[in-house]
């Protein structure tokens, strides 16, 4: 049913309903089922820009060409393809005609027809655009995403998150669209001919602020401040808060990636010599679920818009935070509900939530309560018939507590809720089995059963070594009694409802033996422990005997953790501490171990068993103190910034004073936060702080810190340097147990200790510091902190780099580009998964993007690199070679291969130690060698890079490879200058190379295998062509296929060019000399910006030029072997058997299109058997290029692209075989004359003045000219 | 040197001490805190809690006719605390960079600290490189090999250790950093060099004395006097913010140092 033609890529879109008779479009062609339309071409410039403006303001950007499918059912239309260029749409149109018309004739039913067409289109699209927004199910996102990617130069895999209409305040107000994608914030507006484009990287955003616009009247603006100080002001945002939230969420994710990006080279907790991958996925949303193996005509499932995923992620994390649930829980159902507790009459009005394994209820009214019930603790659920036909669930928990939830929602919602609950409950049956053994480890159970002892291994060290403080003084007994009653009323451990009295019980301090368990219940670590039975033991067992950096660090500190507590002077305590800390390091190797964790852990181990402490440590590091103990410690630094901010807000005088006397708050406060006051306050008090901290979260740390500063305010105001400041606080902590009001007449007041006073101040005066406030402040300050860490890391890393001759500024640029490449490279490949140890090094793929960011020629457009993997760089040369020479069917692909392999050889050069990755130092040194080396060293570099078999000489293929590399590098330049230069290079290279006996045939055998990779289509067409022209075989060509399949090569002498001859050939040409002298090194732009968008047109020219170049190369080679040992070009004729059919054909196709070429080309093809020099061909090619470039200057027209495409289409598919257009004329003469002149000038025979090596080359010349 | 070690006597306390901000840097568990503890309180704790962030201690001592008040910032050694270090070494007039003679890697870390200080810190900072824990190697009977550094005091101390050795299991640890190597490095980088034992006190006081000698005390004093003369300091008990802000260079710090005495 289909022809062999491949469908055009990136034209088809998922069928989208649209209006067939849109006034902006003209119908160009139409058939029974399809319509091809283009935007109305308007005569007037004004109308054009007006239409553009309208389109921009109302509808995003629309492509000028589109194809519609006429629905016969309801006379509507579905857009199935759109394109920016006529050529692409024409291709698509042709393809449709070829592939669909027949099929549609067979089908009668309109419905069937439509289905058939749509399925086919869908499968095309989903195959081509896998992992991009083009297959998202949301049609609006789809079109916006297309507009976004057409406007901005981003990778196709970049996913659009959201887009908003808004105005940007530049010199004037521009109404346009803001696009927010995974990595970028972009703005585009097109107003009456004025185009405004803004492209910001999220990772460089330093601050986001909500602002008011229009003189502060409307709260609809956002100010974006970049880390380098640039500011952007966007207003008229109708969903300002939503936009802001999305930006904050995305920048947060970006920051996390940034932090990981600059993290330590090796995860400290990673076992030494263990190379397993640790995959952390920030965007664990959906793309990865795409099935890779769908059959060609079964469409891949569409993806959901990224934004939905992000919203869900946010909702889930809020839900988890509110109920202290594990991160594996996702919010599935929610409803407003009323809870009745047991037989009591109290009613709680609130909301009920359901996740995979929890049923949660929260009531925030006068009688607050929070309940998170694990589903496996539910014994029975009954649906009650309640009076008002409402849904009511009667739940009996494991601890025989009866709870009734009345769902107050629409019937369907309630039914859905109950349905999900039922399903989830079933899934939890297995978990119930582990409930009983788990409860045996809970002290509350033992207490209620009136046997207040649990097994030693399930309890804290305090059971054995006594708890700190005097139990009598701590009123341990009466506190225990209170808790006993509370458990009876409100459930215990897993089923405990945190009712109104709960916070009060916490604040007076927990009784010793219950402390560990209540900490667990408060922090949610209880759930983790219950849901992951055995994991702790397994972690220890699996990693037994392994070593890691973290383990070494832990070992150092074991004897230094609460050394005054008796248990830590004995093995028992030390062992427990070691186990817990190492287990955590194994679980989270990226974090590993941070000093201060030992202090915190040793403290909680007094009250908790090993397993309890392990899970509590998890909650502590992951949720309560995020980023505190990470390798960058950004969390701790962030909270210090927030504390400073809060101090400024609440105690401005003190804050001012500290600034005045130049005391940094964090020198005193950082240890408080890191070790949770444990080594600042006497232990008894530190544990009281911990009680509150586990229940109320990190805000407590701020409240208490502020209270400390407040209580000591007067003395601190009197202190004039950090020394005095520290002394005041030290003294204060040592007197916490003293009376706060020793002189008071009131005995109650006298009994109040300084610690009591501190807690009062913390809760009363700093009540306003809420968890939400802390979260908000963290969001607001995180960007700054991360950027500070970034610049610190940068400084200290650069200090350890040997910069060579690079200036400080240049090093800074190299560093930025290096990490930028890493940053984006990582997000792209596997979305965040990276091998450990590569954290600070470029691999082959990221090296490409790094190079592209400093050298224009190394910018390879996305579709060049996408799809096929870059060859493993350290593979055997043979292996690499296979990849490099696999024949490709179009010039475009050929160029891709050339570029890729040039860069990968450069990679190998840079990779000193052969590790397969490049460190910053290697990149610096490598670049330095190129940029600061001399001309000779650069020539040597090129020579070595192309000497693939490392025999010290370049053979035929290697020389051609070199010329291709040169073409690749030059491809954005003006063709006039470089094309003749390169053709001369090839010719001279073959001239001056030494001829050797043809021995090497293995090379070709290897390459022959590659042939199989080739596209079916192109093979076919090749065969056809071969049939047509037939004579091609006689020419020696650069294509392996011809070499391999035709018997001709035995007469072909292999050639060898030595380094000196190479140098001579280069020096013989002004352009090449300039290239090696300054051109190549100058192509690396470190301090000046790269001209990114020279783009499309130049690439097209390159396509055709490269194919020309290959033809040239081939023909020269042919010429040489035909001539035997020619010494002088002008008189020698090239092979007489050169094919001309293709030359004719291609030139004809060109001349049809462009008259300018027609003048030149017939000359070439008109002398079929005459010796036409390559130089002429080159000149012709250059002429084409020049003509084109001139035109392009006038306007970048599609027609140009069309021509070159056409060119490629006709003979491009197999131009590797096209050995044609041989010509020799004056250009060649001139050149060789020049070479001779050069040689005589330097009197090479008598010994070179410039380079001794050249003499041998001269000798070679001598022998060839007897 | 020993008289300088004495805590300032009653006579000295009459004088205005010269304040010297000193920071201790070095790899984790090389004995920074112990060194300070030995210097400040003349005591030694075998299992000293690791420093979180930094600890702050002061010690006055006498050098000739002047009293010096060392304000010592004892920093955390673990690598990830590295980014906090600038907070402590900014404005410091002296730094003691400590390594462990039984651990070669700790000297490498010390070198990178030297590099960082020389680039980022106060340009006139006096840096002392100190190899700690020599008691562990001096304890070996073949210590005649490195006779150069160990004087008679050292010998005595070593014997003392032999006696209270009960908790010191690894007394047979070999030296990994030869004195000559570290000393040569210190010389070429322009650092003071010492080998110490916080455990037995060997060489500890000397570190601080030599630093005190090398710091241009006169300069600090005179600049602080100058500040007083200018009416910046003293009577109102506040540092002139203007001056503090402008004087980021050494002069400014010295003024600040002077004002607080």
Reported as a single tens digit per residue, the pLDDT across A292-339 is: 333 334 444 556 677 788 888 889 999 999 999 999 999 999 999 989
Q: Check: CB of residue B193 under 8 Å from CB of residue B148.
A: no
Q: Check: CB of residue A646 under 8 Å from CB of residue A769.
A: yes
With tokens 């059912």, the residue in question is A73
| A729 interface with B at CB cutoff 8 Å | no
CA angle, A70 then A16 then A304, to 5°: 155
Q: Report, at the CATH architecture level, how domain A329-429 is classified.
A: Roll (2.30)
- pLDDT level of residue A1165 (50, 70, 90 thresholds): very low
Plot region of A324 (φ>0 → left; ψ -120 to 50 → alpha; else → beta): left
More confident residue, A838 or A351: A351
* Mean pLDDT confidence for A1104-1125: 50
The token pair at A1193 is 């200057």
Spatial distance between the Cα atoms of A409 and A394, rounded to a whole number of angstroms: 17
Considering only CB atoms, which chain B residues are within 8 Å of A674? Answer: 52-53
Per residue in B133-160, pLDDT (tens digit) is 999 886 554 444 444 444 444 444 444 4
A804-825+841-860+891-996+1056-1083, CATH topology level: Recoverin; domain 1 (1.10.238)
The token pair at A632 is 């960058």
Mapped onto helix, strand or coil, the DSSP state of residue A201 is strand
The token pair at A398 is 């494991």
Is the pTM value of this prediction over 0.90? no
Q: Do B71 and A723 touch (CB under 8 A)?
A: yes
| B244 interface with A at CB cutoff 8 Å | yes
A139-260, CATH topology level: PH-domain like (2.30.29)
What's the total number of domains in chain B?
1
Lowest mean pLDDT among A165-179, A399-413, A544-558, B1-15: B1-15
Looking at residue B233, what is its pLDDT? 35
Cα B10 to Cα A328, A674, B69: the distances in Å are: 66, 40, 14
Q: Do B52 and A633 touch (CB under 8 A)?
A: no
* Mean pLDDT confidence for A985-1001: 69
- pLDDT level of residue B238 (50, 70, 90 thresholds): very low
Residue A877: is its pLDDT beyond 70? no
Mean of per-residue pLDDT scores for chain A: 74
Per residue in A1166-1198, pLDDT (tens digit) is 333 333 334 444 444 444 444 444 444 444 444
Looking at residue A900, what is its pLDDT? 78
Per residue in A175-197, pLDDT (tens digit) is 888 889 888 999 988 777 778 88
Are A139-260 and A329-429 the same fold in CATH? Answer: yes
More confident residue, A675 or A1038: A675
* Mean pLDDT confidence for A1245-1264: 37
With tokens 């090999």, the residue in question is B145
Closest by Cα among A985, A1036, A1002 to A1228:
A985
Spatial distance between the Cα atoms of A619 and A321, rounded to a whole number of angstroms: 11
| B81 interface with A at CB cutoff 8 Å | yes
The token pair at A259 is 């932090």
Spatial distance between the Cα atoms of A1078 and A1062, rounded to a whole number of angstroms: 18
Per residue in A451-480, pLDDT (tens digit) is 766 666 678 999 889 899 888 888 889 999
Looking at residue A1244, what is its pLDDT? 38
| B105 interface with A at CB cutoff 8 Å | no
What CATH number has the domain spanning A627-800? 1.10.472.80
Highest mean pLDDT (candidates A429-443, A827-841, A936-950)? A429-443
The token pair at A828 is 């792209």
ipTM value: 0.74
Residue A109: is its pLDDT beyond 50? yes
Q: Do A667 and B83 touch (CB under 8 A)?
A: no
Looking at residue A139, what is its pLDDT? 65
- pLDDT level of residue A1039 (50, 70, 90 thresholds): very low
Residue A771: is its pLDDT beyond 80? yes
Q: Where are the alpha helices (H) located in A33-85, listed in sequence order?
A: 45-59
- Residue range(s) defining the domain that contains residue B222: 2-260
Mapped onto helix, strand or coil, the DSSP state of residue A540 is helix
Q: Which residues have CB under 8 Å from A1067's CB, separation 6+?
A: A1073, A1238, A1250
Chain-centroid distance, C-alpha B17: 18
Q: Check: CB of residue A67 under 8 Å from CB of residue A80.
A: yes
- pLDDT level of residue A112 (50, 70, 90 thresholds): confident
> Would you list the domain boundaries of chain A?
12-129, 139-260, 329-429, 435-471+486-586+597-623, 627-800, 804-825+841-860+891-996+1056-1083
Residue A548: is its pLDDT beyond 70? yes
Highest mean pLDDT (candidates A436-450, A1071-1085, B88-102)? B88-102
- Test mutation, A269, A549, A558, A560, chain B, max B CBs within 10 A: A560
Per residue in A213-261, pLDDT (tens digit) is 766 678 889 999 998 889 999 988 888 888 998 999 999 888 888 887 6
| B178 interface with A at CB cutoff 8 Å | no
**CA of B148 to nearest chain A CA: how many angstroms apart?**
30
Taking a contact as any Cβ pair under 8 Å apart, which residues of chain B between 202 and 241 contact chain A?
Answer: 237-239, 241
| A631 interface with B at CB cutoff 8 Å | yes
With tokens 């207003």, the residue in question is A235
Spatial distance between the Cα atoms of A993 and A638, rounded to a whole number of angstroms: 65
- pLDDT level of residue A358 (50, 70, 90 thresholds): very high
Report the DSSP pairing between strands A841-842 and A918-919: antiparallel
Angle of helix A956-970 relative to helix A1095-1123, nearest 10 degrees? 160
Considering only CB atoms, which chain A residues are within 8 Å of B83? Answer: 632-633, 637, 789, 792-793
Per residue in A717-765, pLDDT (tens digit) is 999 888 889 989 999 999 999 988 888 888 888 889 999 999 999 999 9
> How many Cβ atoms from other residues are within 10 Å of residue A295's Cβ?
8
Q: Do A637 and B79 touch (CB under 8 A)?
A: no
Looking at residue B224, what is its pLDDT? 53
Looking at residue A754, what is its pLDDT? 94
Considering only CB atoms, which chain B residues are within 8 Å of A671? Answer: 52-54
Taking a contact as any Cβ pair under 8 Å apart, which residues of chain A between 663 and 722 contact chain B?
Answer: 664, 666-667, 670-671, 674-675, 679, 720-722
Q: Where are the alpha helices (H) located in A262-383, listed in sequence order?
A: 306-323
Spatial distance between the Cα atoms of A210 and A311, rounded to a whole number of angstroms: 20
Taking a contact as any Cβ pair under 8 Å apart, which residues of chain B between 8 and 37 contact chain A?
Answer: 19, 28-29
Looking at residue A893, what is its pLDDT? 67
* Mean pLDDT confidence for A417-438: 90
Spatial distance between the Cα atoms of A1054 and B74, rounded to a whole number of angstroms: 72
- Test mutation, B80, B120, B237, B242, chain A, max A CBs within 10 A: B80
Considering only CB atoms, which chain B residues are within 8 Å of A563? Answer: 45, 47-49
Secondary structure E strands in A170-244: 173-181, 184-191, 194-201, 205-213, 218-226, 231-235
What CATH number has the domain bearing residue B23? 3.40.50.300
With tokens 């916070």, the residue in question is A503
- pLDDT level of residue A1060 (50, 70, 90 thresholds): confident
Spatial distance between the Cα atoms of A634 and A961, rounded to a whole number of angstroms: 49
Cα A117 to Cα A30, A78, B248: the distances in Å are: 16, 11, 75
Q: Which residues have CB under 8 Å from A664's CB, separation 6+?
A: A658, A722, B87
Per residue in A437-448, pLDDT (tens digit) is 899 888 888 888
| B45 interface with A at CB cutoff 8 Å | yes
Taking a contact as any Cβ pair under 8 Å apart, which residues of chain A between 526 and 565 contact chain B?
Answer: 553, 556-557, 559-563
Closest residue in B to A669 (Cα) is B53
Residue A1149: is its pLDDT beyond 80? no
Which long-range contacts does A159-162 make (Cβ < 8 Å, 24+ apart)? A159/A132, A159/A133, A159/A287, A159/A306, A160/A133, A160/A305, A160/A306, A161/A246, A161/A250, A161/A305, A161/A306, A161/A307, A161/A310, A162/A243, A162/A246, A162/A307
Residue A766: is its pLDDT beyond 70? yes
Per residue in B115-136, pLDDT (tens digit) is 999 988 888 899 999 999 999 8
Number of A to B CB contacts under 8 A, please give it: 110
Residues composing chain B: 261
**Which is it for the CA torsion A543, A547, A549, A550, positive or negative?**
positive
Considering only CB atoms, which chain B residues are within 8 Å of A667? Answer: 53-54, 56, 73, 87-88
Q: Do B80 and A633 touch (CB under 8 A)?
A: yes
Lowest mean pLDDT among A138-142, A234-238, A990-994, A1207-1211: A1207-1211
Closest by Cα among A516, A511, A512, A510 to A493:
A516
């Amino acid at each position: 049913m289909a022809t062999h033609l491949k469908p055009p890529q990136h034209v088809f879109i998922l069928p989208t309903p649209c209006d067939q008779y849109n006034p902006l479009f003209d119908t160009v062609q139409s058939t029974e089922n399809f319509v091809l339309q283009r935007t109305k071409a308007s005569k007037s410039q004004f109308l054009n820009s007006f239409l553009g403006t309208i389109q921009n303001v109302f509808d995003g950007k629309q492509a000028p060409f589109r194809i519609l499918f006429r629905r016969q059912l309801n006379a509507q239309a579905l857009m199935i393809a759109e394109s920016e260029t006529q050529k692409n749409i024409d291709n698509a149109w042709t393809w449709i005609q070829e592939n669909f018309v027949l099929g549609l004739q067979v089908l009668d039913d309109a419905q069937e027809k439509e289905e058939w067409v749509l399925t086919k289109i869908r499968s095309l699209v989903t195959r081509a655009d896998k992992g991009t927004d083009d297959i998202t199910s949301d049609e609006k996102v789809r079109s916006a995403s297309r507009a976004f990617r057409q406007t901005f130069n981003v990778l196709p895999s970049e996913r659009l998150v959201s887009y908003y209409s808004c105005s940007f305040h530049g010199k004037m107000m521009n109404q346009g669209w803001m696009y927010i994608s995974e990595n970028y914030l972009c703005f585009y507006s097109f107003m009456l001919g004025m185009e405004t484009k803004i492209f910001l990287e999220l990772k460089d955003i330093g601050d986001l602020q909500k602002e008011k616009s229009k003189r502060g009247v409307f709260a609809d603006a956002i100010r974006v401040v970049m880390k380098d100080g640039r500011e952007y002001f966007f207003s008229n945002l109708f969903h300002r808060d939503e936009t802001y939230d999305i930006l904050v969420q995305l920048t947060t994710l970006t920051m996390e990636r940034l932090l990981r990006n600059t993290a330590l080279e090796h995860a400290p907790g990673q076992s030494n010599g263990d190379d397993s991958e640790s995959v952390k996925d920030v965007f664990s949303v959906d793309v990865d679920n795409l099935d890779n193996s769908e059959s060609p005509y079964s469409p891949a499932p569409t993806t959901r818009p990224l934004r939905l995923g992000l919203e869900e992620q946010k909702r889930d994390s809020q839900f988890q935070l509110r109920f202290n649930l594990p991160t594996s829980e996702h919010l599935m159902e929610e409803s407003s509900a009323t809870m009745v507790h047991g037989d009591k009459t109290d009613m709680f009005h609130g909301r009920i939530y359901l996740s995979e394994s929890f049923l949660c209820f929260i009531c925030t009214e006068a009688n607050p309560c929070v309940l998170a019930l694990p589903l496996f603790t539910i014994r029975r659920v009954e649906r009650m018939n309640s009076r008002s036909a409402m849904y009511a669930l009667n739940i009996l928990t494991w601890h025989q507590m009866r709870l009734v939830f009345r769902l107050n929602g629409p019937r369907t919602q309630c039914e859905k809720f109950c349905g999900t609950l039922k399903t989830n409950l079933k899934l939890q049956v297995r978990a119930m089995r582990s409930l009983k053994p788990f409860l045996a480890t809970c002290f509350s159970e033992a207490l209620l059963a009136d046997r207040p002892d649990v097994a030693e291994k399930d309890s804290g060290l305090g059971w054995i070594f006594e708890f700190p403080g005097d139990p009598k003084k701590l009123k341990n007994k009466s506190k225990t009694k209170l808790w006993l009653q509370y458990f009876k009323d409100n459930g215990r451990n897993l089923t405990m409802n945190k009712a109104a009295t709960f916070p009060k019980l916490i604040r007076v301090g927990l009784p010793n033996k219950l402390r560990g368990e209540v900490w667990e219940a408060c922090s949610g670590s209880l759930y983790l422990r219950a849901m992951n039975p055995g994991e702790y033991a397994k972690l220890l067992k699996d990693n037994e005997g392994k070593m890691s950096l973290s383990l070494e660090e832990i070992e150092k500190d074991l004897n230094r953790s609460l050394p005054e507590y008796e248990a830590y002077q004995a093995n028992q305590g030390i062992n427990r501490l070691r186990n817990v800390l190492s287990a955590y390091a194994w679980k989270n190797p990226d974090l590993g171990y941070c000093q201060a964790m030992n202090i915190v852990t040793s403290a909680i181990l007094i009250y908790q068993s090993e397993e309890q402490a392990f899970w509590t440590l998890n909650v502590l590091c992951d949720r309560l103190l995020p980023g505190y103990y990470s390798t960058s410690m950004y969390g701790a630094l962030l909270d210090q910034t927030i504390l400073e901010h809060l101090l400024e807000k609440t105690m401005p005088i003190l804050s001012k004073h500290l600034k005045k006397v130049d005391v940094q708050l964090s020198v005193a406060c950082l240890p408080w936060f890191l070790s949770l006051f444990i080594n600042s306050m006497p232990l008894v008090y530190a544990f009281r702080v911990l009680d509150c901290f586990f229940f109320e979260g990190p805000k407590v740390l701020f409240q208490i810190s502020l209270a400390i500063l407040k209580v000591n305010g007067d003395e601190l105001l009197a202190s004039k340097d950090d020394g005095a400041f520290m002394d005041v606080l030290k003294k204060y902590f040592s007197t916490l147990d003293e009376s706060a009001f020793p002189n008071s007449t009131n005995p109650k007041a006298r009994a109040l200790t300084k610690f009591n006073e501190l807690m009062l101040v913390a809760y009363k005066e700093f009540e306003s510091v809420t968890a939400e406030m802390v979260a908000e402040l963290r969001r607001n300050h995180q960007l700054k902190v991360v950027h500070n860490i970034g610049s610190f890391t940068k400084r200290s890393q650069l200090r350890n780099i040997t910069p060579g001759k690079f200036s400080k500024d240049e090093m800074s640029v190299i560093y930025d580009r290096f990490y930028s490449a890493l940053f984006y490279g990582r997000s792209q490949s596997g979305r965040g998964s990276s091998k450990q140890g590569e954290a600070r090094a470029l691999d082959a793929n990221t090296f490409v993007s790094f190079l592209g960011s400093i050298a224009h020629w190394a910018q390879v457009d996305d579709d060049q690199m996408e799809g096929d993997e870059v060859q493993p760089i350290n593979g055997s040369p043979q292996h690499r070679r296979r990849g490099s020479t696999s024949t490709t069917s179009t010039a475009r692909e050929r160029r891709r291969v050339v570029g890729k392999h040039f860069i990968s050889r450069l990679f190998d050069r840079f990779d000193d130690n052969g590790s397969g990755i490049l460190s910053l130092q290697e990149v610096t040194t490598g670049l330095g060698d190129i940029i600061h080396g001399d001309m000779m060293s650069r020539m040597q570099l090129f020579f070595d890079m192309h000497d693939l078999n490392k025999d010290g000489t370049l053979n035929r293929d290697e020389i051609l490879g070199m010329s291709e590399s040169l073409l690749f590098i030059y491809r954005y330049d003006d063709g006039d200058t470089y094309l003749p230069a390169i053709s001369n290079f090839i010719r001279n290279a073959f001239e001056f190379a030494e001829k050797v006996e043809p021995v090497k045939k293995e090379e070709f055998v290897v390459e022959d295998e590659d042939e199989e990779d080739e596209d079916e289509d192109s093979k076919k067409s090749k065969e056809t062509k071969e049939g047509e022209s037939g004579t091609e075989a006689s020419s020696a060509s650069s294509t392996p296929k011809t070499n391999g399949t035709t018997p001709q090569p035995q007469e072909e002498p292999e050639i060898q060019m030595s380094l000196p001859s190479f140098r001579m050939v280069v020096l013989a040409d002004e352009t090449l000399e300039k290239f090696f002298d300054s051109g190549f090194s100058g192509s690396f732009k470190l301090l000046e910006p790269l001209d990114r968008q020279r783009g499309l047109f130049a690439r097209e020219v390159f396509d055709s030029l490269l194919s020309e170049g290959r033809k040239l190369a081939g023909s020269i080679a042919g010429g040489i072997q035909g001539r035997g040992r020619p010494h002088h070009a002008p008189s020698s004729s090239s092979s007489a058997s050169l094919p001309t059919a293709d030359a004719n054909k291609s030139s004809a196709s060109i001349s049809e299109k462009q008259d300018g070429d027609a003048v030149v080309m017939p000359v070439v093809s008109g002398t079929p058997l005459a010796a036409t020099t390559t130089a002429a061909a080159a000149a012709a090619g250059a002429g084409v290029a020049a003509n084109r470039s001139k035109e392009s200057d006038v306007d970048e027209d599609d027609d140009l692209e069309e021509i070159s495409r056409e060119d490629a289409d006709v003979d491009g598919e197999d131009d590797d075989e096209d050995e044609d257009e041989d010509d020799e004329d004056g250009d060649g003469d001139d050149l060789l004359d020049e070479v001779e002149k050069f040689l005589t000038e330097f009197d090479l025979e008598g010994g070179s003045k410039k380079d001794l090596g050249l003499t041998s080359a001269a000798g070679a010349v001598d022998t060839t000219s007897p | 040197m020993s008289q300088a070690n004495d805590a300032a006597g009653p006579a000295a306390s009459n004088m205005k001490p010269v304040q010297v901000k000193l920071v201790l840097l070095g790899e984790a568990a090389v004995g920074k805190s112990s060194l300070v503890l030995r210097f400040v309180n003349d005591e030694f704790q075998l299992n000293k809690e690791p420093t979180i962030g930094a600890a702050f201690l002061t010690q006055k001592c006498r050098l000739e006719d002047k009293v010096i008040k060392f304000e010592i910032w004892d920093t955390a050694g673990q690598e990830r605390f590295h980014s906090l270090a600038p907070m402590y070494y900014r404005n410091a007039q002296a730094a003691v960079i400590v390594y462990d003679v039984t651990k070669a890697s700790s000297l490498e870390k010390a070198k990178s600290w030297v590099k960082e200080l020389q680039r980022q810190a106060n340009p006139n900072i006096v840096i002392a490189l100190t190899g700690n824990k020599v008691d562990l190697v001096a304890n070996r009977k073949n210590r005649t090999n490195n006779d150069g550094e160990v004087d008679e005091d050292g010998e005595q101390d070593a014997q003392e250790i032999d006696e209270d050795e009960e908790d010191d299991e690894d007394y047979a640890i070999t030296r990994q950093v030869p004195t000559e190597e570290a000393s040569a490095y210190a010389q070429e980088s322009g650092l003071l060099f010492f080998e110490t034992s916080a455990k037995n006190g060997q060489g500890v006081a000397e570190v601080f004395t030599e630093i005190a000698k090398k710091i241009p005390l006169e300069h600090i004093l005179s600049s602080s006097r100058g500040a007083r003369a200018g009416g910046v300091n003293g009577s109102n008990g506040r540092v002139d913010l203007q001056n503090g802000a402008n004087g980021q260079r050494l002069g400014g710090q010295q003024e600040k140092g002077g004002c607080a005495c």
